[in-house]
Amino acid sequence: MEVTRISRHVVAYTPSIAEVELMFERVRPELGSQTSLDTVRRIMSANPNTFQAFARRESFDWAAPRAEGFIAWLPLSESGRTALLTGLFDGANPAGEHLAAQHEKPAAIYVWAIYAPGRLAGGIALAFDRMSTPLNREADLYAWGPTAAGRRLIASLGFVPIESQEGGGRFGLSIFRRGAPSTLAAVELAPLYDSYPSATSTFSVTVVRSADDLARVMSVRSAAFVGEQACPYEEEFDGNDFSSTHLLGFVNNEPAASIRVRCFANFAKAERLAVRPEFRRSRLAFVIVKAAHELCRVKGYRRIYGHAQKDLVDFWSRAGGRPFPGAREFTFSDHSYVEMMSEVPPHPDAITIGTDPYTIIRPEGRWHAPGVLERSASRAVTLHSADPALRKQRRA
């Protein structure tokens, strides 16, 4: 965008908190935002530079400004940038440690929200120009397009989907490079489904690989389904738990959510999502569902099927699912359900026949790191495995 030309028609300025509150409440339904006004006040009080308002020049009056659009961005600390790239950043209520202070050089800048209809879109260029101060000009910009319109907008601004360049990317997240080449390629970022609790992240998810973690899953599900919903024990623990992949979600170090995945010929099924009551106001449910979808993508699945309780269809819709043509409604365990489907893009590094065999034998969900069997390849081949006669004798 040509800033000089556009500035003839649009004014960009820093609004007051009162003006931000009025504008935010007016456009929140259109944005579909889950962010509270308290969070907006907290962010803007800590760093007023995070909001820029737009107005048409011909109608702008500084004595009585009235914002017609806005852009909000978040300067991220290094831990915030890592959380964003690994899917653990809570965009609805960003943690304080993930944000850089007004006087600090950010590790990245996250475009939090844009509302700029019609000619006001020119204000985005003015705002980006303001993001190029000496303190900010080397920080790469990141944006997430949750809708088709949002993805078109950020693509028109020069953002490039991370997945097209870096295997560590997350679906929907795009980057606008400005400074030195990103160090992301040199840093091994664990995928969302293998992000054990750490000091820099509130939420984390891991694939269950031990009896202890499986016991944690059972305790979460017992609290949610057996305790709250009075689901009979034999119906909740239905015989599929030892043939499924389970994911366990944490809030800090506390096991707080679980979901399991079962794989079929051309689809995977995500099911038994459970979140402990005290953590349901957090975004952990979305984080663990996203982790499950990412796991399915790496295993080569494009369709993720599920049964949603009818009163939770809205949640699953926001998590990427939809009732599909011919979807059936049915009941079990005293609840009504509807069939839903999430269609996800192919993963650039999906595991298929032809993938490195050492990758395929790595532990479930840890295909990004060398495993114990891979390391064993450095040992010499033994006589028993090299001599067919000895192998036959040993089996006998």
Phi, psi at residue 51, to the nearest 5°?
-120, 135
pLDDT in tens, 4-14: 455 567 888 88
pLDDT of residue 253: 87
Average pLDDT (251-264) is 95
Res 167: pLDDT: 37
Task: Give the residue-averaged pLDDT of 66-80.
Answer: 87
Give the Cα-Cα-Cα angle 239, 263, 168 (nearest 5 degrees). Answer: 125
User: CA 33, CA 27: separation in Å to the nearest integer?
Assistant: 9
- Measured CA to CA in angstroms, residue 281 lies from 34, 61, 256, 278, 345 at distances of 11, 41, 12, 8, 29
Its pTM surpasses 0.85: no
Greater model confidence, 262 or 152: 262
User: Cβ neighbours of residue 8 under 8 Å, at least 6 residues apart?
Assistant: 57
Residues 6+ apart with CB under 8 A from 178: 132, 137, 138, 139, 140, 141
Give exposure, 280-310, as e/b (b: 16+ Cβ within 10 Å). eebbbbbbbbbbbbbbbbbbbbbebbbbbee
CATH assignment, 3-186: 3.40.630.30
- Categorize the per-residue pLDDT at 391 as very low, low, confident or very high, splitting at 50, 70 and 90: low
Taking only the tens place, the pLDDT of each residue in 211-232 is: 999 999 999 999 999 999 999 9
CA distance 340 to 328: 9
Comparing CA positions, the residue from 293, 286, 249 lying closest to residue 269 is 293
Average pLDDT over residues 57-71: 81
- Mean pLDDT (the chain) is 83
CA pair distance 141, 128, nearest whole angstrom = 10
Domain residue ranges of the chain, discontinuous segments joined by +: 3-186, 203-343, 357-395
Q: What are phi and psi of 144, to 5 degrees?
A: -120, 125
Q: What is the pLDDT of residue 212?
A: 92
pLDDT in tens, 138-193: 888 998 876 667 777 777 777 888 754 343 445 578 888 875 444 443 334 678 89
Phi, psi of 201, deg, nearest 5: -130, 135
Q: Taking residues 266-273, what's their average pLDDT?
A: 97
Determine the topology of domain 203-343 in CATH: Aminopeptidase (3.40.630)
> Looking at per-residue confidence, does 392 or 213 come out higher?
213
What residues form DSSP beta bridges with 55?
11
As a residue count, the chain comes to: 396
83-90: average pLDDT:
83
Backbone angles phi, psi at 149, to 5 degrees: -65, -40
Residue bearing the bigger pLDDT, 48 or 207 = 207
What pLDDT sits at residue 308?
96
Structural tokens at position 283: 């975004």
129's enclosing H/E stretch is helix 122-130
223, amino acid identity: A
CA gap 211, 217 in Å, rounded: 10
Residue type, 201: S
**Tokens encoding 26:** 């007016």
* Cα dihedral sign, 102-106-112-113: positive
Q: Do domains 3-186 and 203-343 have the same CATH topology?
A: yes
Residue 329 DSSP one-character state: E
For residue range 94-109, list pLDDT tens digits in order.
988 899 888 888 999 9
Pairing of strands 245-251, 254-263: antiparallel
Q: What count of other Cβ atoms lies within 10 Å of the Cβ of residue 257?
A: 28
Two structure tokens written together for 235: 């119906």
Q: How confident is the model at residue 199 (pLDDT cuts 50, 70, 90)?
A: low
